[in-house]
Amino acid sequence: MSALLGLKTRLGLARTMAWVGVEDSSTSTDDLRRVVAELSRGRADIVVLSAQRTTSATVRVAHEAARKVLAGRTILGLAGGPVIADGIGPDLLLQTDAAPTPFRSHEWSLVGRSFYAGSGLDDALADPRLDVVVVSPHLVEQAAALAPPALAASKPWFAHTGSVDEAADLVRRGARRIAFAATGTNAYETVVAHRAVLERVWAAEMEQVEFAAFRADARLGPAAPGFGAPGFAGSDRSTPGPVVRRGATQVRRPGWRRER
């Protein structure tokens, strides 16, 4: 079987989430394109645009610029609320822990929540309406106990870190997915460094999670639009990538390379 991977499968395989700030300035769009291109080159799995102090028009321009650069190779998300996401259609909307109801920007989009306090985290990790959770460093042990990352049935969650050294500590404490801020000066190096922190634990512990993600994608069948399918948020067209072999199944993932 050959198929493009769906958003949930891409999320299940994701290790890194890079946050990029969006600003109101005459040079911000060009700067954003450069940062996003470097993140793509470094193989960031998810890019989240954070635009809490900008206008909806600026966010729309930034999202379109990032979408064209990524060309379906990476999940593209927004951090904010429904007002910002409505009409833009990001692949992923990350709401704050105070958001009352998960909001999907389109039928196949992902929705997540960021937590900076422990209250409600257990409910969020068990909530079938949420696809992913991002937690602050002091919540890593709690998240790992509630949703052990190496269990295929656990909801994906990312630990937000401020440095590669802190990321290594979070991995020792139980995190297997890392979220971090990226800037124009070191975007590529930042992704590569965080992927290196995760490489050994993913090789040792996360194989069943990867297999489960591929199996879930196969069960969706050809009727479900894959990531990068025509008319699907995040890509201009459907372009099959290299074949990834898993037993007797062949799955095409755009821009994906086997982990070493």
Q: Report the CATH number at residue 64.
A: 3.20.20.70
Q: Where are the beta strands (DSSP E) in 148-238?
A: 157-161, 178-181
The residue ranking higher by pLDDT, 255 or 121, is: 121
Q: Report pTM.
A: 0.82
Does residue 214 fall inside a structural domain?
A: no
Range of the domain at 184: 14-206
Per DSSP, the chain holds a count of helices (H) and strands (E) of: 9, 10
Backbone angles phi, psi at 56, to 5 degrees: -60, -35
Pairing of strands 243-246, 249-252: antiparallel
Length in residues, the chain: 260
- What number is the average pLDDT over the span 57-68? 93
Does residue 45 fall inside a structural domain?
A: yes
- What number is the average pLDDT over the span 211-224? 66
Does the pLDDT at position 102 exceed 90?
Answer: no
Structural domain count, the chain: 1
Does residue 244 fall inside a structural domain?
A: no
Does the pLDDT at position 197 exceed 80?
Answer: yes
User: Is 5:217 a contact under the CB 8 Å cutoff?
Assistant: yes
Does residue 239 fall inside a structural domain?
A: no
User: Residue 217: its pLDDT value, please?
Assistant: 66
